[in-house]
């Protein structure tokens, strides 16, 4: 059996899901058929998504192809971060300790709370009037 040249993983955050594929390369990152700089216009989102490569010192050594669906920009960046971290561990087991200590292998469990009936939002209440 021939070993695949790429490593797959899935990352999730809020309502976003990122299907990530990594392989040895030159550091190219393509998200939904667009470059990372074009897809994540804010520096904060880009920095958040690049954290796994910074921690493991693999910037410029791996190519990333990701397909991200759902959620907003920061949720998608978090999903990409989680997916890349998981893919890096599959790619090289020695990177697990660094990623785990940085907290990048744990899925962030925070989700949006549902709106309750008789209220304007999840927590907000209509103004109380005693009389």
Gap between the Cα atoms of 9 and 87, Å rounded:
5
Q: What pLDDT sits at residue 18? A: 97
Gap between the Cα atoms of 131 and 111, Å rounded:
37
Region at 70 (left for phi over 0; alpha for psi -120 to 50; beta for the rest): left
Is the pLDDT reported for residue 12 higher than 90? yes
Whether 71 is covered by a domain: the verdict is yes
CATH code for the domain of 18: 3.30.230.10
SS3 35: strand
Question: For the chain, what is the largest distance between any 2 Cα atoms, rounded to a whole number of angstroms?
Answer: 78
pLDDT in tens, 33-69: 999 999 999 999 999 999 999 999 999 999 999 999 9
Q: What pLDDT sits at residue 77? A: 96
User: Which residue range forms the structural domain that includes residue 52?
Assistant: 7-101
Whether 123 is covered by a domain: the verdict is no
How many separate domains does the chain show? 1
Whether 131 is covered by a domain: the verdict is no
Q: Contact, 88 vs 57, CB < 8 A? A: no
Whether 47 is covered by a domain: the verdict is yes
Whether 116 is covered by a domain: the verdict is no
Which residues on neighbouring strands pair with residue 21, listed in sequence order?
8, 65
SS3 90: helix
Whether 115 is covered by a domain: the verdict is no
Gap between the Cα atoms of 10 and 87, Å rounded:
8
Gap between the Cα atoms of 125 and 53, Å rounded:
44
pLDDT in tens, 63-111: 999 999 999 999 999 999 999 999 999 999 999 999 999 999 999 999 9
């Amino acid at each position: 059996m021939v070993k695949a040249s790429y490593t797959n993983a899935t990352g999730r955050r809020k309502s976003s899901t990122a299907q990530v594929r990594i392989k040895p390369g030159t550091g190219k990152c393509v998200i939904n058929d667009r470059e990372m700089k074009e897809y994540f216009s804010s520096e904060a989102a880009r920095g958040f998504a690049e954290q796994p490569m910074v921690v493991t010192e693999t910037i410029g050594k791996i190519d990333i192809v990701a397909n991200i669906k759902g959620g907003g920009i920061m949720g998608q960046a978090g999903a990409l971060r989680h997916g890349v971290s998981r893919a890096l561990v599959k790619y090289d087991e020695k990177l697990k300790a660094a990623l785990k200590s940085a907290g990048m292998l744990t899925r962030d469990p925070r989700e949006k709370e549902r709106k309750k009936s008789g209220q304007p939002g999840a927590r907000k209440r209509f103004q109380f009037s005693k009389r």
